[in-house]
Structure 1
Amino acid sequence: MTQHNTAGISLPSDKSPRLTPEQQLVAEYYQHQAMLCQWFATLLSAELDSTTLQAYMAGDAAPLLEELALLPELTESVHALEHAITGLSVLEQPRLELAADFASLFLSDARHSSAPYASLYLDEGRFNGPSAQRMQQRLAAAGYAVDEQFKEPTDHVAIMLDYLAESYRRLALDPTPEAEANVARFVSGELASWLPALATRARQTDTASQFYPALLALLAAYIEA
């Protein structure tokens, strides 16, 4: 979804200073948060392909969801998503019906869908408003741009989560107080401020499966937590 304008960020090599146990825990924590944000971003950037869908229906997501469910703030949302995944097996054509859900939720007219753009919720319903402009500035400052094949405004939830994942990767390498504060401000001001409303819209939309509404509810709870 995003492409680096530079060579990217490399993990510390064997020649890097050894981390203390506390530093190692911090690095692992931020790497894990990056993985979770990337997971959400991937699921919300495009329809599930057949291989991924079959993997989910076979239980491949269970370990990750079980881990998330250990957080009391996420338990209810995790169970709802688990129930939605289980329910995919009763659909006649799961992939096609999920694709239709994706289209009706995220690709339809914003007045009648759960349009996944921050501007719609934070800028009085104006697309490509200040929220998108701020996001574009962040992407430029971070040194990467949106992949040309992902033809969405920069305030699309998947792009914002992808950016957050990269921010966590950078924190894993250099967790300065300033960088941590910047990420915290982004999470609270640019994501937590509108994701609950997105999740509510999705829940109110008629869909064949509860997969995407449950996924968005879990995302909103995760960002809040």
Structure 2
Amino acid sequence: MMPFSREERQFVYTWLSNMLGHELSASQLAQYQQGLFDDFFAFLTEQGFQAQVEGIQQQLQQLKTVELAHLELAADYTQLFLLDGSSSALPYASAYLPEAQLACHFTFLEALLVRFQLQLNRDKPEPSDHLCVYLELLRQLAEVDDMKTYQQLIQDALLPWLLPFNDKVQRVKTRTTFYQQVVVLLILLLQADCQN
């Protein structure tokens, strides 16, 4: 993998946040199925993520044969991320980190939220340890080119809980494996980015 530019990092993390922050609408799914993201997928393939891109594209292709595919994908999203912790893979660090690590973890996270003047959406009460908060922080760190903190966020604050999160994601039974493929891509991107 070639090192990402600042703009590429920002785009990738915005895309991942959009993919994992909420279910795709019918129009968003149609955009993927019509090829509007083919250039982005080609970029990821060139970066060495061919298997993951093919997996995502295969799921998108299979959804073309499903009536009301966006509702099926929404059901998968709900099953994966929105039910209780025994049924779903909750996208929160606190669901996976040991209790003894949480205070230090949240202190680091809160300092970054303050630094970038990020406030959580009060209309949708989400805890600060939601996966998309981390993705937004990565986007912000890439924007200011603070690679030391960027690497620290990935290695010390994100991967330690994303790996068990992914294990659970892969065990949840859904009609498609679309979101499972996206989560694997996220982890592989983070791991590769840390090595560059």
Quote how far apart the aligned CAs of 1:29 are.
Answer: 0.6
> Match for residue 100 of structure 1?
75
Report the TM-score when normalising by structure 1.
0.77
Letter in 1 for 2:121: D
Matched, 1:119 2:94: yes
Q: Distance in 1 between matches of 2:5 and 2:124?
A: 29
Quote how far apart the aligned CAs of 1:53 are.
Answer: 1.1
Matched, 1:146 2:113: no
Instruction: Return 5+ residue gaps in structure 1 as ranges.
Output: 1-25, 172-178
Q: Deviations over 1:164-211 (max 9, x none)?
A: 11111111xxxxxxx321111111111222223222221211111111
| More helix as a share of residues | 2
Quote how far apart the aligned CAs of 1:66 are.
Answer: 1.4
> Match for residue 30 of structure 2?
54
Q: Distance in 1 between matches of 2:78 and 2:106?
A: 22
Q: Distance in 2 between matches of 1:125 and 1:114?
A: 21
Q: Deviations over 1:16-49 (max 9, x none)?
A: xxxxxxxxxx9x8111101100110111111111
1:1-225 map, 5 Å: 29-72=5-48, 74-124=49-99, 129-130=102-103, 131-171=105-145, 179-225=146-192
Letter in 1 for 2:161: W
SS at match of 2:91: coil
SS at match of 2:186: helix
Cα 1:145/1:83, change in 2 over 3 Å: same
SS at match of 1:167: helix
Identity of aligned residues (%): 24
Cα 1:49/1:132, change in 2 over 3 Å: farther
Cα 1:70/1:79, change in 2 over 3 Å: same
Q: Distance in 1 between matches of 2:31 and 2:159?
A: 30
Quote how far apart the aligned CAs of 1:137 are.
Answer: 2.7
Q: Distance in 2 between matches of 1:132 and 1:103?
A: 26
Give the stretch that moved more between structures: 151-160 or 187-196.
187-196
Q: Distance in 1 between matches of 2:123 and 2:65?
A: 33
Q: Would the aligned equivalents of 1:37 and 1:165 in 2 still touch at CA under 8 Å? A: yes
Q: Deviations over 1:131-180 (max 9, x none)?
A: 34532232012222112233211111111101111111111xxxxxxx32
Q: Distance in 1 between matches of 2:106 and 2:77?
A: 22
Q: Distance in 2 between matches of 1:143 and 1:107?
A: 27
Higher-Rg structure is 1
Report the TM-score when normalising by structure 2.
0.88
Q: Distance in 1 between matches of 2:162 and 2:88?
A: 14
Quote how far apart the aligned CAs of 1:125 are.
Answer: 10
Aligned length: 189
Q: Would the aligned equivalents of 1:81 and 1:218 in 2 still touch at CA under 8 Å? A: no
